[in-house]
Structure formats: C-alpha cells, structure tokens
Amino acid sequence: MEPGPGDGAEPLSKNAKRELDNTQREDKSRRKEDGKARQALKASSQSQKTMAENYEVETPMLHMIPGGAAARPFMTDHNDLNIKQYMRISPELHLKQLVVGGLDRVYEIGKQFRNEGIDLIHNPEFTTCEFYMAYADYHDLMEMTEDMLSGMVKELTGGYKVKFHANGYNKEPIEIDFTPPFRRIDMIADLEKMANLNIPKYLASEEANKYLIDACARFDVECAHPMTSARLLDKLVGHFLEGTCVNPTFIMNHPEIMSPLAKSHRSIKGLTERFELFINQHEICNAYTELNDPVVQRQRFADQLKDRQSGDDEAMAMDEAFCTALEYGLPPTGGWGLGIDRLAMLLTDSQNIKEVILFPAMKPQDEPAAARGTISLLNNSPVAAENNKFWEVPLFSSFGKTKDNGGLHL
C-alpha cells in the first residue's frame, strides 16, 4: 500500500496533485511519453490489423450482477429503481451475448473497476481491451497474441527487445525479449515437476484440497481463508511458476475450478483451454476458448456459489440471464483480454502503474482544519465533516524529486 507522510517515503503529492506534477519539466515530459505510448499502442499497425475485422462496441458500466471475473466489485444504489448495482469488473458476459446475437467479432476498450488493493501493478480503476471472435479457440488466440505484441514492440522500438528497470532505477535494467514464439508452460504438469508434487487428478475433491493445503504449508506459501483449492493452486503457481516468466510466457491449461467461464479441455479431463500471458512476472493477458454449454455453465456458477458461501467474496455469482443467452447458441468462440496500463508500463519503463495513469487512486489523508469548515457547510453536519477524508497531501513537498532519489514504494 501507499506509504504515509513521515515514514521516510516520497510524499504522495507527486501523484495526488497531477496539475502541479505536470508542470515539472521531468514529469511533464514523462507524462507526454506515457500518453504517446498509449496512443501508439492503439495506433500501431499490428493492433489495427488485429482489430480491423472486429466491431467496436460499448457495454454497460453498471451491472445488476457483477460477473466476468473473480474480483470484488464496487457497489452503488440506483435511487429511482431502488436497486443495488455494481460497477463492472469485466465486460465479458455482455460481449459474449453480442456474439450470441450475431456479431461474430466484437471488441471494447474501456475501464474496469475492482474494489481491491493498491500497489505497483494494481489500481482500482484500470483500462483493458477485450475481444471475442467466433470460430476461434485458444490456440488461435495465442498465435494472434504473439503476432500482435511482438509486431507492436518491433514497430514502436525498432526491435524485439526492451530494457526495463525491474529492480529499481538505480540498478541495471533487465532485457525483455518479445521475439516469437513465446515460451509455454503447462500449469499443472510444470507445477508438479518444479515443486515435486503429485496433485490428485480430481481437483474439486476434499482429498485434493487437503493435499494443496499441506503443500502450501510445506513450502511456506501463505493463503488467506477461505483456503479453497482454486486459491491454493493460484498461490502455488505464483510461488513456483510466475517468477520464471520474465520474457513473455504463456501459462496454459488451467483447471476447471479456476476457470468457470472457460471451455473444458478437449483431451485432458478437469482442465480448460485457457492461457494467461505473463511478462516480467506479471499477468498481462488472459484468454480462453469460451464455455458455450448452458448446462455446464450453470453448474460452474453453482460451484462458484459454494466457494462464495465458504467466504470467498471474489467467487462469481450465478447469472441466470447469461445462462439463458447461451441457450440460444453461442458459436465456438475465443475470448481475449489485455491490461493496457501494464503493457504501457513495460514499454515506458515505468515501475509503478501510477506513472501511466493520469489520475490514479490515492490513499486518503486527514484534511486540513480549514477544509473541515467548508465540508461541514456542504454536508450540513459537523460530525460528518470531522470524519470525512479526502485525497490531500502537502502541496510542494515532492517538487524537484526524481525516480532516482525519491523512490517508488508499495
């Protein structure tokens, strides 16, 4: 999380006061560089080629049921309808409903909102590109991902290799090689090989859950409650596999218990046709052959509901309207999503996601005494004003600091 004033870290004004931050010569040029990188990502011939045959759409930001991802949503109220609504955590289910309706290739670039922690690679509000292509599978999507990202990097930088200060700006940069084809890791098989495990094949069983709990304990891998098999596997993969993914690497063939919206693998029972692309040890892209069987989808949602009832508030909710849409017929479809902010970080050598977002989320600080009176007038409540918090920090304290002497912190 963001450090507070007085703990030796760089004050927060650098990110909180963007209008002043942008007046500094170094940061002004930096912000222009980040903005140009975002424009270049969208305008590159490789991204244009990928999206040329897709129809750009806009889907709702407010959802009745938060779905399409395993994440905790922001909740709000609709006063006129007197109902709870949720800021979207993913556009996936709406985009697949458009494919059901006959739009064979659709994509959307837009904001997602997840009520989760803030760190170097996470911001509660972030930008993604998602597309859905009828009559494609995850093999097609892996090939497209390789072509698009390697071609984009070559077009923007003149080569396939980029330098990135993964260990700090005062250390030597690492080299990330986007030369295709990208490395591929089979999630379960390579996890078993690297950790010397023999995970029970039926991953939804009590036996598998106990085995994974014991494995995490043996390797000092922490997993917060509830310790579902999906969460335990995710922690083990993060411990053993993700750290090896510096150059672009596909971790593929995830278990069904980790992928409720992905189609079952055509030849390996219990797994799905899914991949995640990791670069510099962080997830950049997530894609799969879409599950299009409404009966199986209902069962997957029911299994997620069990995890939710056991305390996993990131498990997906039952979406009966989406299951009904599948009954009309979703053709074989490949779905793909990429985090634009994280890709921009890589291509601009930015260690902190705040550096590529003009107005990132900030940790609240106590407001000045002068502001409390103003807020009390607005709220008509001295108590509310006293307890109110807002995004404020010392005004000029970060002027003149650079990444080299100011530091970037979790």
Q: What is the pLDDT of residue 84?
A: 96
Is residue 334 within 8 Å of residue 133, measured between CB atoms?
yes
CA atoms within 13 A on the CB side of 37: 22
Q: How far apart are CA 327 and CA 323, in angstroms?
A: 7
Residue 12: partners with Cβ closer than 8 Å, 6 or more residues away: 2, 5, 362, 363, 365, 393
pLDDT of residue 364: 77
Question: What local confidence, expressed as pLDDT, does residue 241 receive?
Answer: 98
Q: Which amino acid is at 403?
A: K
pLDDT band of residue 393 (cuts 50, 70, 90) is very low
pLDDT greater at residue 410 or residue 65: 65
| Position 369 pLDDT exceeds 70 | no
What is the pLDDT at residue 8? 39
The pLDDT of residue 45: 61
As a whole-number percent, the residues of the chain with pLDDT over 90 amount to 73
Distance CA 273, CA 280 (A): 23
Is the pLDDT score of 5 beyond 50? no
**What is the average pLDDT value for the chain, to the nearest integer?**
85
What is the total residue count of the chain? Answer: 410
Residue 108 confidence (pLDDT) above 70: yes
SS3 274: strand
CA 54 to chain centre: 22
Kindly report which listed range (176-190, 212-226, 301-315) carries the lowest average pLDDT score: 301-315
Please report which helix (H) or strand (E) contains residue 335, including its range.
Answer: strand 333-339
pTM score of the predicted model = 0.82
The answer, yes or no, to whether the previous bond of 181 is cis (omega within 30 of 0) is: yes
Please say if the pLDDT value at position 406 is more than 90: no
Task: Render pLDDT for 334-345 as a digit per residue (tens, 0 to 9).
Answer: 999 999 999 999
**How large is the average pLDDT for residues 381-394?**
41
CA–CA distance, 132 with 96 (Å, rounded to integer): 7
Residue 7 has pLDDT above 50, yes or no: no
Q: Which of 179, 200, 176, 204 is nearest to 188 (CA)?
A: 200
Q: For residues 339 and 283, is the Cβ–Cβ distance under 8 A?
A: yes
Cα–Cα distance for residue pair 365/390, rounded to 1 Å:
6
In the predicted structure, residue 49 carries a pLDDT above the cut 70? no
Residue 370 has pLDDT above 80, yes or no: no
pLDDT band at 391 (very low <50, low <70, confident <90, very high): very low
pLDDT at residue 382 tops 50: no
| CA atoms of 188 and 236, how far apart (whole Å) | 10
Q: Is the pLDDT of residue 399 over 50?
A: no
Question: What CA–CA distance (Å, rounded) separates 258 from 230?
Answer: 5
Residue 28, pLDDT above cutoff 70:
no
φ/ψ (deg, to 5) at 48: -65, -40
pLDDT value of position 367: 59
Provide the CA 291 distance to its chain's centre, in angstroms: 21
